[in-house]
Amino acid sequence: MSEIGPALLVVDDNEDNRFTLTERLKREGYGNVACASNGREALELLATRPFDLVLLDITMPEMDGYQVLHEVKADTTLRNIPIVMISAVDEIDSVARCIGLGAEDYLAKPFNAVLLRARLAACLEKKKLRDQEAVYTQQIENEKRRADELLYAMLPPGAVRELKATNAVRPRRYEEVAVLFCDIVGFTAYCDENPPEKVVEHLQALNEEYERIVRQHEMEKIKTIGDAFMATAGLFTPVPDPVFASLQCGLDMVTASRRTEPSWEVRVGVQFGPVVAGIIGHRQYLFDLWGDTVNMASRIAAHANPGTVATSGATWHRIRDRGRGRSLGFVDIKGKGRIELIECQGLKEQGPS
């Protein structure tokens, strides 16, 4: 309802009736009143401006009150406007018919000031409450949408779907997952030499590019840890070849890092195997992965040369016929002993299966 009061529409083909009712409404404090001399004019007004209440005469030429009422209630944008029928005392059966068609109430001619005041106040209060309910419903929908956006920002899409369906993400073991770690070379020194606003701005731009690349390869971002970025292939979303997708993703991340200011070099490590995944905590919770595959991917990234993607010999073996690699020799990996590392120098496009 507007600041100048509720908007009322009086519809009556009789000019004297319109004048009489309008004057009574003004005496009751309703100054925002418009008039229509027939049903078609009323519908035109309703289509061009909002009204909070319609006082509608039943008996009119060309288009009577029944027809107007039917048109209004059939229109999804108008059907919630309360309509009070105006009738003669001997038209009570017609009034009952209108109430059945969706009219809110009725007023008999000649108008009784007490009934006019009471019925208008009741109808307008109902309209106000319905309007408030619509506003609250929209606010709830907006908050729900915002909550969904936050969930998708915090968790992989597969975890969000499970959380919404079951109100939990059950921890489970996934047997064949490729885990990718990517971290920035010399990031600590860069932080020491630049203002924090610049550091965060550049890191945000790089992470947005990483997220785009991850989606392009049908992978799932898991989290960022400082300057490190973690993603998976084959966790929630099936991927034809998780290792190939992850290595190609890593190569694209290396390229993106060089063309994104300040032209960072990154190290990427990829490992394939089983992982355990789930959510930790009840407040500020985090979806995370655990297991030997995760640890290996992180440690391989730490041993990779700047600007390269590396993986273990066992993982490379899965795509050896579709890639060009260079052995980095055997290195000591904590908890695993000496492991051969392979630097991925290129991949061949996968042909049709």
Write the DSSP assignment of 106-118 as a string of letters: EEEESPPHHHHHH
CA-to-CA dists, residue 320 to 173, 243, 330, 344, 351, angstroms: 27, 11, 18, 10, 15
pLDDT at 303 over 90: yes
Helix intervals (H) in 102-241: 113-154, 157-166, 187-193, 196-216
Nearest-angstrom CA–CA distance, 163 and 151: 9
* Neighbouring residues of 214: CB distance < 8 A, sequence distance ≥ 6: 220, 221, 231, 249
What region, left, alpha or beta, does residue 107 occupy, with left being phi > 0 and alpha being psi -120 to 50 degrees?
beta
Nearest-angstrom CA–CA distance, 11 and 60: 9
Average of per-residue pLDDT across 241-257: 96
Nearest-angstrom CA–CA distance, 314 and 254: 23
Nearest-angstrom CA–CA distance, 284 and 313: 38
pLDDT, one tens digit per residue, over 33-47 is 999 999 999 999 999
pLDDT at 2: 56
pLDDT, one tens digit per residue, over 171-198 is 889 899 999 999 999 998 999 999 999 9
Q: How many CB atoms lie within 10 A of CB 110?
A: 9
Token digits of residue 238? 């099936």
pLDDT at 113: 81
pLDDT at 153: 66
Give the rounded percent of residues in the chain with a pLDDT score beyond 90: 50
Cis peptide before 274 (omega within 30 of 0): no
pLDDT at 14 over 80: yes
Reported as a pLDDT band with limits 50, 70 and 90, residue 128 is confident
Token digits of residue 306? 């700047």
pLDDT at 88 over 80: no
Kindly compute the dihedral angle of the four CA atoms of residues 72, 78, 80, 86, in this order, to the nearest 10 degrees: -40
Please answer whether residues 97 and 66 qualify as being in contact, where contact means their C-beta atoms are separated by less than 8 angstroms.
yes
pLDDT at 353: 39
What CATH number labels 170-347?
Answer: 3.30.70.1230
Q: Which of 122-136, 199-213, 228-242, 315-329 has the lowest mean pLDDT?
A: 122-136
Does the fold of domain 170-347 match that of domain 8-134? no
pLDDT at 315: 96
Average of per-residue pLDDT across 93-122: 84
Reported as a pLDDT band with limits 50, 70 and 90, residue 129 is confident
DSSP string, 17-74: HHHHHHHHHHHTT---EEEESSHHHHHHHHHHS--SEEEEES--SSS-HHHHHHHHHH
Of 218, 210, 282, nearest in space to 252 by CA: 210
Reported as a pLDDT band with limits 50, 70 and 90, residue 286 is confident
0.85 surpassed by pTM: no
Q: Which CATH number fits domain 8-134: 3.40.50.720, 3.50.50.60, 3.40.50.11860, 3.40.50.2300?
A: 3.40.50.2300
Look at 236 and 296; give whichever has higher pLDDT: 296
Query: Domain coordinates of the chain in residue numbers?
Result: 8-134, 170-347
Give the rounded percent of residues in the chain with a pLDDT score beyond 70: 94
Q: Provide the 8-state DSSP code for 12.
A: -
Please answer whether residues 108 and 130 qualify as being in contact, where contact means their C-beta atoms are separated by less than 8 angstroms.
no
Q: Provide the 8-state DSSP code for 2.
A: B
